[in-house]
A and B are shown apart, each in its own frame.
Chain A
Amino acid sequence: MLPMSSSVRRFLLTKAKTYVRTVTTSKPATSFDDDQIKQNYDIIIAGGGMVGCTLACAIGKNSLLSHLKVLLLEGSPQQKYEFKPEYSNRVVALNQNTKSLMNSLEIWQHIEKARVQPVRHMQVWDASSNALISFNSADIMDDDVAYIVENDLLLHAVNKELTSPDLKNVNIVYGAKISGYELSKHEALTRNLIKMNNGDTYSCKLLIGADGANSAVRNAMGVQYLSWNYDHMGVVATLHLAEETENTTAWQRWLPTGPVALLPLDSKRSSLVWSTTVDHAKQLLQLPEEQFVDALNDALWKQYPHSSAVEACTSWFGSCLKSIGLPDGAERQLPPSVKSIVSASRAAFPLGFGHSTRYVAPGVALVGDAAHRVHPLAGQGVNLGFGDVKDLTEFLADAIYTGLDITHHSWLERYESSRQRHNVPTQIAVDALYRLYTVDLPPVVLVRSLGTQLTNALQPIKKLIMSHATT
Chain B
Amino acid sequence: MNTTLLNKTRTINTFLYKKVNMLVNLRNESSSNTKRTTIDKPNVEKFTKILQEWWDPNGPIKALHAMNLVRVPFVRDGLIQCAQNERNIKPLKDKKLLDVGCGGGILSEALSKLGAEVTGIDANKELVQLAQYHSNMNDELNLKPKYQYTTIEDHSKDFSNYYDGVVASEVIEHIKDKELFVKSCLQALKPEGRIFFTTPTRSRLCKIFGIWIAEYVMNAIPKGTHQYDMLMTPIELTFLLERNNCHVEIINGLVYNPCTNKWDLIRSQQLLFALQAVKLE
Residues of A near any B CB (own CB < 8 A): 1-2, 4-5, 7-8, 11-12, 14-17, 19-20, 22-26, 63-64, 67, 188, 397, 400-404, 410
Contacts and interface: CB of A to CB of B under 8 A. Distances in A.
Contacts of B73: 401-402
B53 A402 contact: no
Interface in B110-130: 110-111, 113-114, 125-126, 128-130
B113 A403 contact: yes
B70 to A, nearest CB: 9
B137 A20 contact: yes
Contacts of A25: 140
Contacts of A67: 89
B48 A12 contact: no
A5 B129 contact: yes
Please give me the 8 A-B residue pairs with the lowest Cβ-Cβ distance, nearest first.
Answer: A403-B113, A19-B55, A20-B137, A403-B114, A8-B129, A8-B126, A402-B72, A23-B138
B137 A4 contact: no
B76 A402 contact: yes
22 contacts: A1-B132, A5-B129, A12-B133, A15-B52, A15-B53, A15-B56, A16-B55, A19-B55, A22-B57, A24-B137, A24-B138, A24-B139, A24-B140, A63-B85, A63-B87, A63-B88, A64-B89, A401-B73, A401-B89, A402-B114, A403-B72, A410-B69
Given A2-B128, A20-B137, A401 B91 contact: yes
B76 to A, nearest CB: 7
Nearest to B91: A401
B205 interface: no
A421 B114 CA distance: 31
B266 interface: no
A8 to B, nearest CB: 5
A26 B140 contact: yes
A16 B129 CA distance: 12
A455 to B, nearest CB: 37
B69 A20 contact: no
B229 interface: no
B126 A7 contact: yes
Nearest to A9: B129
Nearest to B72: A402
Nearest to A410: B69
Contacts of B134: 16, 19-20
B87 A401 contact: yes
B137 to A, nearest CB: 4
Contacts of A17: 137
A25 B138 CA distance: 10
B52 A11 contact: yes
A402 B69 contact: yes
Given A401-B89, A403-B110, A7 B51 contact: yes
B158 interface: no
A5 B149 CA distance: 13
A25 B126 CA distance: 26
Interface of B: 48, 51-53, 55-57, 68-69, 72-73, 76, 85-89, 91, 110-111, 113-114, 125-126, 128-130, 132-134, 137-140, 149
Tell me if B's interface is mostly helix, strand, loop or mixed.
Answer: helix
A2 B129 contact: yes
Nearest to A65: B89
Nearest to A411: B69
Contacts of A410: 69
B30 to A, nearest CB: 18
Nearest to B139: A24
Contacts of B130: 8, 11
Contacts of B128: 2
B104 to A, nearest CB: 10
B51 A26 contact: no
Contacts of B91: 401
Tell me which of A4, A8, A404 has the highest count of chain B C-beta atoms within 10 A of its own C-beta: A8
A22 B55 CA distance: 9
A400 B126 CA distance: 31
Contacts of B113: 403
Contacts of A20: 55, 134, 137-138
Contacts of A19: 55-57, 134
Contacts of A26: 139-140
A373 B123 CA distance: 57
A403 B97 CA distance: 16
Contacts of B125: 2, 5
A403 B72 CA distance: 8
Given A5-B125, A403-B72, 7 more contacts: A4-B129, A5-B129, A12-B133, A16-B137, A19-B55, A64-B87, A64-B89
Nearest to B260: A413
A23 B140 contact: yes
A11 B49 CA distance: 11
B185 to A, nearest CB: 23
A23 B141 CA distance: 9
Nearest to B56: A19
B88 A64 contact: yes
Nearest to B53: A15
A11 B53 CA distance: 9
A403 B68 CA distance: 10
A26 B137 CA distance: 13
A4 B111 CA distance: 26
Nearest to A18: B56
B62 to A, nearest CB: 12
A402 B67 CA distance: 12
Tell me which of B48, B110, B137 has the highest count of chain A C-beta atoms within 10 A of its own C-beta: B137
Nearest to A15: B52
B133 A16 contact: yes
Contacts of A16: 55, 133-134, 137
Contacts of A12: 133
A11 B130 CA distance: 9
Nearest to B129: A8
A400 B113 CA distance: 10
Nearest to B127: A8
Contact of A397 (B57, B87, B140): B87
Contact of A400 (B89, B137, B139): B89
Nearest to B262: A410
Contacts of A188: 57
A403 B108 CA distance: 12
Contacts of A11: 51-52, 130
Contacts of A397: 87
Nearest to B136: A20
A63 B126 contact: no
A63 B138 contact: no
Contacts of B138: 20, 23-24
A15 B133 CA distance: 13
Nearest to B51: A11
